[in-house]
Structure 1
Amino acid sequence: MICHPTSSAGLEEACLSGPTRRPQTAADGPQKGHGTKSAAVREQAILALLSERTIERAVEQANVGVRTLRRWLTEDPEFQADYAAARKATFEAGMSRMHALTSRAVNPLEDLLEAKDHPTVRLGAARTLVEIGMHQHDADTIMRKLEEIEAAQQRRR
């Protein structure tokens, strides 16, 4: 409402004489254009977060406000769950690809183990293969322990 003083009583009287609207509260629900982003916009934001290195760049790519994106990341359980699921799926896809390439990566290392004239090359290849084996063993052990802990928690419920 635009208020125009029409008498010497001033601005207050002129504003009060017109139609009044109470301020919107949280109980009224979100205002139009405030907090009602579509699922497609939220999905774009998640894709931008996955592909960009900073929130600022993700904001530009997704065309959402930085405050909106930060609020979704800190206060919106549904967005947080969707983002976590997308991150997990992206990570698992990358790990599957790495797993598929492992045998191709091991073949040259295996060939280097046979470099009879170059003992330092053989040592480097052997060290790399042992490290890979140890990392895999550690990862398998951690996953097994985690599964045991999760199973124990499920039994307690």
Structure 2
Amino acid sequence: MTHLDLGRQYESLPYAGMLFFAAVFGAHVHIISLPIGVLAGVALLLLETTVSVTSQGFSVVKRLGRFPLRRDHWAKDQILGASLQEHRDVTTYTSWSQRNTVRAHSFILTLRVDRGKKGVEDLEVYEFAKRADGNQVVEALKSLHIPVA
């Protein structure tokens, strides 16, 4: 069993920023929108992620503190294969007449899942920031005799 606690990944950072922005400008209409927007934005920033590989299968759990908010689980007999692909992306934007370039580098875990009568589907289940974390999950999937590309 591999249990990888990835902690706060800040994948909700853009949404939290939008909530903060909306809360500040919404306060002009009604004062109650400010604390609600700030609390919701903080909650998004405090989301944590846990990736687990057990003898039953693979799961990704997003939680706020000790409370699970979303749990995705794929049973071992549903998983036909797995792949960890390197992803590089470049985004260029202009801010205050200054040109900025952001280079994203991540590793995406893709599972090939049998959906029964719906056929076979390739799902991008998680995006890792570090190759070592992705390789740890891939090795755990190999130990379950799941083919890895």
TM-score by length of 2: 0.27
Bigger Rg over Cα: 1
TM-score by length of 1: 0.26
Relative to its length, the structure with more helix (as a share) is 1
Higher relative contact order (CA 8 A, sep 6+): 2
